[in-house]
Structure 1
Amino acid sequence: MVWGKGYKELLKLLDDHQKELTGLEVDLYGNGEDSDQVQEVAKKLEPDVRVHPRRDHADPLFHDYKVFLNPNTTDVLCATTAEALVMGKIVVCANHPSNDFFKQFTNCWTYQDNNGFVKETLKALSEEPGQLTDAQMHELSWDAAIEKFLQAAGLDQVVERKPTKTPPKKFMSMRMNLWKNMDDESAYVHYVASGIEAWRRVFSAIPGSLQPDEEQRQELGWAFPTGGQG
């Protein structure tokens, strides 16, 4: 739970539109360096905003929720948005390049401005989510994510080739590690794709967002890189 994950934007939206969102109840989950500050700000709001410690994304308590509010625009592809869609929730998120992939799903409702946030939130609370098709469920699976990754990396043709009698040990090791289990798949794709600018753009990242700019470094208290003499 850090401000950069959309908590600041969400709490401001709730604060600016307390009258329009009267009766709204919001639960926030997470642990992190800003969790105490988030909780302090949430207590001052008119809408009932409760802050809870982190829970596993597969926890049964999330089954009863119908709407997921996520103003976060800092992730390349927000995993919690994907998880909420798979669980059949309505997701209200910003109309932003980082969310372009999710716009294809019926239950993803985007807003352009503050008034749009209020409109989509109230609409989501009054309507029922649609049913995902098998094709849409596949698009949200790790299998589909890895297919896109392999295509972007130019490795899809390599994987489709017929194996030789004695495949190279290095290739066999890479393939075995890649497909070992779902946790390894997700970590591998996220690690590699998030560290290369060209692949980040394939997954809807904002160009040039790989390295923090001057303003972001000041907010985080990071030192500025200094050039050395050759």
Structure 2
Amino acid sequence: MNIEEHSRHPDISIDRHIKSCIFGLGRALVGGHAVYLDVRYWLLLRNALLASDGASPGGQLLALLRNAVKSGKVFCPISEAVFLELLKQSDPSSRLRTAGLIDELSLGVSLLSQRERVATELAHFFYSTTRNAEDLHPLRYLVWTKLPYVLGLLHPTETAFDGATELAVQKAFFDKMWTIDLAKMVDMLGTTPLPFESRLGDIADKLNAGNIEHAAELKSFQQGFDQ
């Protein structure tokens, strides 16, 4: 939904909206088996793709995975560890091609960041011991997110807008980021060196800084989304 539509639902908090999107994603993935690939396998598949070598082991594996993903049998989610290794690739063109392949085989899906995943699993465990445990969603519905949020869930705060408008902006911003693919993220990052020794939040902040840095200077909502 856009900002105007979200403005008509001030009763829905940003946390509730995010949880609803995560739950919907988890429901949509039911029936598909998660296949986890480390960076070595992603590079093997990318090299086979670039070489157009269907007879090689990498080419055969790529064909099998593509068919399985298209049929809804599997998906290949990544985690923040794979994402950070991807960003360490020195060649921008190869890095972008790897990101595009991840977009295809992952269906745009990542595990929640480790911090969020641990918090979710702990909360689910504690609530499962209560009398209302039967109302809990299955944990397998709650651990997935979209690739733009591989390093953690973020949204604009302390903007120049009033509280109700800021809430609508937050939800619309989340929706916008929810649809961005990994290749576009990698392209946005460019070749600027990233602080791999720093905390993951620093890199997540960098991904979002360009969208929210000048929020107070925007003259209209449409202008903000067009930037």
TM-score under structure 1 normalisation? Answer: 0.28
Larger strand proportion of the pair: 1
Larger helix proportion of the pair: 2
TM-score under structure 2 normalisation? Answer: 0.29
Structure exhibiting the larger radius of gyration computed from Cα positions: 1
Q: Tell me: higher relative CO, structure 1 or 2? Use CA pairs within 8 A at least 6 residues apart.
A: 2
